[in-house]
Structure formats: C-alpha cells, structure tokens
Amino acid sequence: MADAGAILLAAGQGRRLGHDKSITEIAGRPVFAHPMEALLSSAGVGAVVLTVRQDVKDAARRWVDQNLAKDRHRVKVIEGGKERQDSVWEGLEALGEGVEWAVVHDAARVLLTRQLTERVLTEARRHEAAAAASKMSDTVRATNSSGHILRLVDREGLWRMETPQVVRKSLLQEGIKKARKGQAVLTDCLAAAELAGVKGVLVESGEPNLKITVSGDWVLSEAWLRLRK
C-alpha cells in the first residue's frame, strides 16, 4: 500500500552553476529524472510532486509526459515557492489527502537510489521522522568571519545532513506553520519536525549521495551515473 508521497525539490536558481540545473541533461536525462526514477520505484511511494521554477514548468511536464508513459499519472509538476519551506508546503498541498508520510528530496542529489529511500522511510515509520546523512570524517575547525581559527571542533557525533528526509505529513505541516508564524527560515525538514516536537533519527547513507552545487560536483555525479548503467 502506498502511504507515502514524495516531493522532489527542483525550484532552486542554480546561481553557482550559471543555469537551471533541474532540466539540464546529465548522463542523457534531465537532472530531476534520475532521483524521480528512484522515488517512483520505491515501495510505499505513490505520487511524486516535482517543484520547479515557473519558467521551466512546461518543459518539465513535457518531459514527464513523453518519457514516463507508465508512471506519468503519478507525477505532478508544480511551481515551487520562494524559500525551500514554501516549496515543501506547496508540495504537501499537491499530495492531497490520504498521504501519511512525506518523502522530501533535493533533485540536485541525482544519485538517489530506491534502497536508500526505502531505508529512510522505514526508520521514519519507527521514529516519526528520519533523514539520510553522513558522519563527519574530516577534521572540523570553527573560525571567525575572516577565516581565523577559533577552535578545533570535536567531530564525534557530527553528521552532514542529506536527503531524502521523511516526516509524517501532519507533523511537517505543523512545523512549517510554526516556522512561518515565527518568521523562521527552515533549512531542512527535520528542523520542521523539531518545531512540531519530534527529533527524528539519522540514517547513514552509506553510498554516493552528493549534491550538485558547483561544476566539479556535476562531473563527479555524471561519472557515477554512467558507471551505474
């Protein structure tokens, strides 16, 4: 039974890359297509809502209609909001009733797999909220605004947050409402869950899950995608 719906966030500006990365092709398909495939194939996930900028919405919808004949009825393409939390809210609205769990993923993390999605979803069902993450393996130092070192930071227990992140839909809505009321900007969905009273758990991704931010990320991601074929 599909009790979860996914929100694929692709409404970012891509300023550091110089173009809208969501519809630019990587390894032969638009960026959003790779994680969308993983979400559509994941057990328990029904509809997938793709949030994009208004100027690429029609192009994204055309690609879905022309290339996902079997699953296009499961995909909604909508315009994203100004902030990340606004896009998540619009996605939740688009998922509608009957969805208990919201799976939120950044489209720029093109290496998403069905296995990782299902692992995070399983842990969310146990703990109300869960997110993919990686344990810090590098030495960490805190500095001032000029880059002068202030102190060495103990990396024990520190994680780099990733997506997918899965939160019970009602909790995610409650958290975003509280953030809006307090005029707070949320950087991820577990922050919204915390506002709703749930800490959640982290799930070690254990596989390449980098986010395309700069050109070097693009090269690495494309290489991994081609290796998987």
Tokens of 65: 């209609």
Question: What pLDDT, in 10s, does the model give residues 3-49?
Answer: 999 999 998 755 554 545 678 999 999 999 999 999 999 999 999 99
Q: What are the chain's domains?
A: 4-228 (3.90.550.10)
Please report which confidence band the pLDDT of residue 80 belongs to, taking 50, 70 and 90 as the band edges.
very high
- φ, ψ of residue 165 to 5 degrees: the values are -125, 135
Mean pLDDT value across residues 176-180: 97
Mean pLDDT value across residues 156-171: 96
Model confidence, pTM: 0.94
Preceding peptide of 30 cis, ω within 30°: no
Mean pLDDT value across residues 194-203: 97
Residue identified by tokens 């993923």 is 105
Question: What pLDDT, in 10s, does the model give residues 87-125?
Answer: 999 999 999 999 999 999 999 999 999 999 999 999 999
Q: Is the pLDDT of residue 179 over 80?
A: yes
Report d(CA 170, CA 182) in Å as an integer: 19
**pLDDT at 120 (0 to 100):** 98
Tell which wins on pLDDT, 169 or 97.
169
Mean pLDDT value across residues 120-146: 96
Closest listed residue to residue 103, CA positions, set 23, 43, 33: 43
